[in-house]
Amino acid sequence: MRTSGRNVQPAFGVDGLLDNRRIRIIVCCGSGGVGKTTTAAALGLRAAERGRDAVVLTVDPARRLAQSMGLRALDNTPRRVAGVEGPDGPGTGLHAMMLDMKRTFDEIVEAHADPHRAEQILANPFYQSLSSSFAGTQEYMAMEKLGQLRHSNAWDLIVVDTPPSRSALDFLDAPRRLGRFLDSRFLRLMSAPAKVGGKTYLRVLSAGMGVFTGVLTKVLGAQVLKDIQTFVTALDSIFGGFRERAEATYRLLQAPGTAFVVVAAPERDALREASYFVERLAEERMPLAGLVVNRVHRSKVPQLSAARSLAAAESLEEGGEHALATAALRLHGERMQLADRERRLRERFTSAHPAVPVAEVTAQPEDVHDLGGLRRIGSDMAASGRR
């Protein structure tokens, strides 16, 4: 659709998305620092106050979500947010939780291994390191927790705030990457000593793996290799489950009841990352609801252009009078220039993805720190979709 030679981006109907009872999962994704946590919380709050029974799952270690919802802390258990009710009163509401990735990993082990083997795995040093710091574990466990919440059927809407990764694409890649790692030939090779015995293992190594293992021993140390071997042997009974759950997560994300909301700031890198993510979602056949652009700057006097404002400021400055008016004009001119830069960046995205609905959130004078601030964000998103 074109008007006056310029692409017109379709509006993102946020309220229509939240009111659609067939949508059970909303995933907020994007690069770090663009406001995903605030967007997820605002969507969850607005959905609850429009009659949905919603839960927000965050992975934000800064705990901003807890503060904005009036909670002292969040943990791996959903907690009800006080003061949030739907239009019909009690019966609907909002819960929130923050992912504890190690606890979630422990829950998987406890659920899928017998008690003795689970105890072995949980006490293993390699497992403790893997479950706390391995690249991709946080993203994988966020999806595990999403699956648990969806399976419980306790809420009719789950809003997910994805991990603050260097790249938004890490969220889609990590579950498969971790699943492949845990089910890899390398780790199965490491379990060989416990399975075939020491002497047999040495004969196998002499056939071609001795040098390789020697290098690993020098780099990792004999104890680390032993921990890996013990871990893999104990975990062998649930190895296949990691791959199966990764595949189940992908099917859940592709399902019609899931909607992705890509979040960006009006900055070159953030919008480039959003563009990559939109393309990746299309490749993976995952349903995209729209793009939310946070922290958009606008002028309350748009008819006064940046050029005219700065020219007037310069003229007054030369006269040496009206310092306050000069400063106001210069500030307005600079704000207009910023707004113009942001508009051009958004138009580049529009040109590349003309069918993606967009909602914008005006830059706030201060950080969001309470339910009132989240309501303003949600209202701004919804109003942008109606413009």
* Structure token pair of residue 183: 């089910």
pLDDT level of residue 196 (50, 70, 90 thresholds): very low
Backbone CA torsion sign across 295, 300, 302, 308 = negative
pLDDT level of residue 192 (50, 70, 90 thresholds): low
What letter does residue 77 receive in the DSSP assignment?
S
If one compares 260 and 231, the residue with the highest pLDDT of the two is: 260
Above 60 in pLDDT, residue 200? Answer: no
How much is the average pLDDT of 311-334? 76
Question: How far apart are alpha carbons 74 and 78 in whole angstroms?
Answer: 8
pLDDT of res. 269? 92
**91-108 per-position pLDDT tens digit:** 578 999 988 888 888 888
Residue 117: its H or E element: helix 115-123
What letter does residue 300 receive in the DSSP assignment?
S
Q: What percent of the chain clears pLDDT 90, i.e. is strictly above it?
A: 31
* Structure token pair of residue 96: 């929130």
Question: Are the C-beta atoms of residues 85 and 186 closer than 8 Å to each other?
Answer: no
Above 70 in pLDDT, residue 165? Answer: no
How much is the average pLDDT of 345-374? 91
Domains detected in the chain: 6-171+243-302+343-386 (3.40.50.300)
Above 50 in pLDDT, residue 338? Answer: yes
Of 49-58, 133-142, 167-176, 337-346, the range with the lowest mean pLDDT is 167-176
How much is the average pLDDT of 69-86? 84
Above 60 in pLDDT, residue 171? Answer: yes
How much is the average pLDDT of 130-153? 80
pLDDT of res. 39? 95
How much is the average pLDDT of 266-284? 92
Q: State the number of CA atoms in the 13 A half-sphere of 54 facing the CB.
A: 29
Question: How far apart are alpha carbons 247 and 249 in whole angstroms?
Answer: 5
Single out the residue of 234, 265, 280 nearest to residue 119, CA to CA: 234
If one compares 178 and 7, the residue with the highest pLDDT of the two is: 178
Question: How far apart are alpha carbons 93 and 66 in whole angstroms?
Answer: 16
Question: How far apart are alpha carbons 58 and 44 in whole angstroms?
Answer: 11
If one compares 256 and 320, the residue with the highest pLDDT of the two is: 256
Question: How far apart are alpha carbons 84 and 93 in whole angstroms?
Answer: 6
If one compares 308 and 167, the residue with the highest pLDDT of the two is: 308
pLDDT of res. 157? 97
How do 2-3 and 6-7 pair as beta strands? antiparallel
C-alpha to C-alpha distances, 10 to 1, 357, 387, nearest whole angstrom: 9, 5, 10
How much is the average pLDDT of 283-311? 84
* Structure token pair of residue 214: 């020697």
pLDDT of res. 206? 43
Above 70 in pLDDT, residue 209? Answer: no
Place of tokens 């909303």: 26
Above 80 in pLDDT, residue 303? Answer: no
If one compares 259 and 175, the residue with the highest pLDDT of the two is: 259
pLDDT of res. 290? 96
pLDDT of res. 205? 42
CB atoms within 10 A of CB 163: 25
If one compares 209 and 242, the residue with the highest pLDDT of the two is: 242
Of 121-130, 185-194, 310-319, 323-332, the range with the lowest mean pLDDT is 185-194
- Which of 127-136, 160-169, 256-265 is modeled with the greatest confidence? 256-265
* Structure token pair of residue 156: 């009719």
Above 70 in pLDDT, residue 115? Answer: yes
pLDDT level of residue 217 (50, 70, 90 thresholds): very low
Chain-centre distance for alpha carbon 334? 33
Exposed / middle / buried, residue 90 (Cβ in 10 Å: 0-12, 13-18, 19+):
exposed
Question: Are the C-beta atoms of residues 28 and 59 closer than 8 Å to each other?
Answer: no
pLDDT of res. 227? 74
Provide DSSP, 142-186: HHHHHHHHHHHT--SEEEEE----SSTTHHHHHHHHHHHHHT-HH
If one compares 143 and 94, the residue with the highest pLDDT of the two is: 94
Average pLDDT of the chain, as a whole number = 79
pLDDT of res. 85? 82
